[in-house]
Amino acid sequence: MLRKSATPCFLCVIFSFILANSLYAIPSFSRKYKVGCDMCHTIFPQLNSFGRDFKNNGFRTPDEMISTYKAKSFWNQGFGEVPLDLHGKINQEFYPNNQRIGTETGIDEIQLNAGINFSQKVAFYLHTHLWESGHYGKPLAIELRINDLFGSDLFNLRAGQYELPLSFSPEIERLMAFNYLIYSQTIGGNSFSIDQPQLGMELSGDLGNDFWYWTGVVNGNGFETDPNTGLFDNNPAKDFYFRLAKNFDESTVGVFAYVGDNYVYSDSADLNHQDNFIRVGGDASIVINKLNVRTSLVHGSDNNYDGLNTSTTFHGGFVECNYFQTDRLVFVGRYEILWLKDMAASPDPTVRQTNWAITPGFQYLVLPNVKVGLEYQVRQTASANQALALLHFVI
């Protein structure tokens, strides 16, 4: 049986936050523009099409993109107008299997978000974890953007640490609590995964007819220095990526490619080696009335992932369906599958391993900035099954 001792404590925390008057505050950009959260979000943190365009255009509304428009200077804004908020996630995990019986309750994350337009052309965005899974957190995004280089929305420069561009955010704006298998997959000594933040520079722009492009040069990791090099990079090479997407009103379809190098110092065989790898794929976010369908397919290839000149590939994807019964209630579900050959993951490296997961659940907005939910994930082995009750809030 599951232990019950943590459950009353978790429920008390939920109701204490629901009843707290401070939670009626409207967070982030809503403070600056004096609009509701649903202007940019379906159910936070997932963006709708307006939020997507607002983000792509450097945190500017259509009026602010007009050259003759004079936005209020950041330095003349009052504190209540500064786009700043705190996100909190309190999760209670259940392990309904024979390998691990019981529950765990804890503050999963405390996040600080800030978005600032210093002028019509210069914007800054911060998303950092102050606390994460019992430890001090780290920044996910610290980026400076210069809009409309050369007087054209074809060229927008972004520099700093940021998520790779996809049709939906795999971490910061993810609606479901569980990670995506295909985005978090790593191979052997190569620590790269699609959902990790990157440190570098990017050009993006509107090609017309709702086509957008992104191209960037990154170091292959973030602000954390590599213990072997002492730098914000683990090798002298640079990684490159490209994305092309087409927006259809509420929907988005795109393709992407990432080409990189990974240096491994003193691996399991006490060798140093270099691994050249690629990740290519496509993704889509399709909105049909109350139904939002999100999907992605990814293929990965590494030519020396184990230091023995062994090449390997993996591929997989997912389909996620979010049905918005009302503007407060959403039923979520995701099926994902991944095939890979990895000596570290399979007893026989010649046999392709299959990983899969099915995750149903729901989320409900108690208040515009207070959300509760439940998700249950069934995996390929019963010992990996897990249920997750969640409370997310924004102040």
Q: What is the pLDDT of residues 91-137, one digit of tens each?
A: 888 776 655 544 455 677 899 988 888 888 888 999 998 988 778 88
- pLDDT per position as a tens digit, 326-354: 999 999 999 999 998 765 555 565 677 88
- pLDDT per position as a tens digit, 65-91: 776 656 555 556 555 566 778 888 888
Whether residue 82 contacts residue 32, with contact meaning beta carbons closer than 8 Å, is answered with yes
User: What are the CA-CA distances from residue 138 to residues 53, 133, 142, 168, 239 (Å)?
Assistant: 27, 12, 11, 21, 22
Residues forming a β-bridge with 320: 294, 334
Q: What is the pTM of this model?
A: 0.84
Q: What is the pLDDT of residue 308?
A: 72
Instruction: Give the chain's end-to-end CA distance (angstroms, integer).
Output: 36
Average pLDDT over residues 314-322: 96
Which of 264, 296, 292 has its CA nearest to residue 279? Answer: 296
* Pairing, β 103-117 against β 122-132: antiparallel
Handedness of CA 343, 344, 347, 353 (dihedral sign): negative
Least confident of 59-73, 268-282, 366-380: 59-73
Classify domain 6-394 by CATH number: 2.40.160.10
What are the domain boundaries of the chain?
6-394
